[in-house]
Amino acid sequence: MMPIRPTVARYAVASKNSPQLADTIILADRVHAALVSLSNGSSIFTGCDEQGKPLHGNRHAHVFCESNNGLGKGIDGEITHITIYAPVGFESEDQVALRDLDRVWGGDNFEIQVILQGFGQPRDFGGIDLERSQCPLLARSRAWVSRTPFIPTRHPKVTRAGVPKVDASGLQIGSPEHDLLRLLVLGGFPAPEAVESVPCTSLGGRETPWASFACRRSNGGGRRSAYGIGYGFRIEFAEPVQGPVAVGYASHFGIGAFTSVV
């Protein structure tokens, strides 16, 4: 039997000058660039095959940032962990690049040191015990809430008269909630039983609105709604699902990530 390839590499941020979680997309973009360089352009990190064509099915790596208030960290909403997840698993060459990742630069804005905690599967790291350095993004749960803003990839639909076009459930087609549900199903998740809007997340004990988050990559494209406005939701499934749960624009760069709810 072939050994199971790890799908998760998790790091602790050791530096004191770590960016805030609101800068997730900026740091994730730099981590992505570092891994592309360290791996000599491995497709798991570039998201493209040898001909430069995009991989299908979201098989390439996601870069998630966490701000976990445990073990004296995350007190000011700073990023405490970085988690790399690739559902198809990391080849041995990819693992070499992941082991070599020890620093991330962001121009004059930051330079942080990261320490690899290990390789494994989501179940090996997932949980809500922050004092044990568990990862709520990788937990198994029925209920999830936005940790970074969800950015829709479609526009709300209206008739020529300006009347919203709705689906059978009464949701406006292309609205943030409608697009969230569509993308969850496309991502292999069951349709949630309940969805409600949430205006913010808590960072360092403070309510942080979605407008506080950087929501545009400095490089690269990606489909996004008209203005790239971020939204937050709490979703509940009929049965527990295994994290990570992340959809929408820049979900491979830490945006649109959900954290498990007790």
Beta pairing, strands 140-146 & 62-66: unpaired
pTM to 2 decimal places: 0.91
- Kindly tell me if the per-residue pLDDT of 248 is higher than 70: yes
Q: Please, are residues 139 and 121 in contact by the beta-carbon 8 Å criterion?
A: no
Banded pLDDT at 226 (limits 50, 70, 90): very low
8-state DSSP, 251: G
pLDDT value at 37 more than 50:
yes
pLDDT over 90 at 120, yes or no: yes
Phi, psi of 172 (to 5 degrees): -65, 130
In the structure encoding, which two tokens stand for residue 71, read together? 């073990």
pLDDT at residue 190 tops 50: yes
Condensed to tens digits (0 to 9), the pLDDT of residues 85-102 reads 999 999 999 999 999 999
**Confidence check: pLDDT of 50 > 70:** no
Please say if the pLDDT value at position 189 is more than 50.
Answer: yes
Give me the percent of the chain exceeding a pLDDT of 70.
90
DSSP for 143-155, please give it. EEEESS-B--SSP
pLDDT for 57 beyond 80: no
Cβ count near 56 (within 10 Å): 7
Q: How far apart are CA 120 and CA 5, in angstroms?
A: 8
| Dihedral over alpha carbons 232, 234, 240, 242 (to 10 degrees) | 10
54: which 2 tokens? 């995009």
Predicted pLDDT at 54: 65
Locate the DSSP E strands across the chain: 8-13, 62-66, 81-85, 103-105, 111-120, 140-146, 194-197, 200-203, 206-209, 233-242, 245-246, 257-261
Q: What is the mean pLDDT of the chain?
A: 90
221 has a pLDDT exceeding 70: no
Residues 176 and 196: beta-carbon distance below 8 Å: no
At 208 the pLDDT is 96
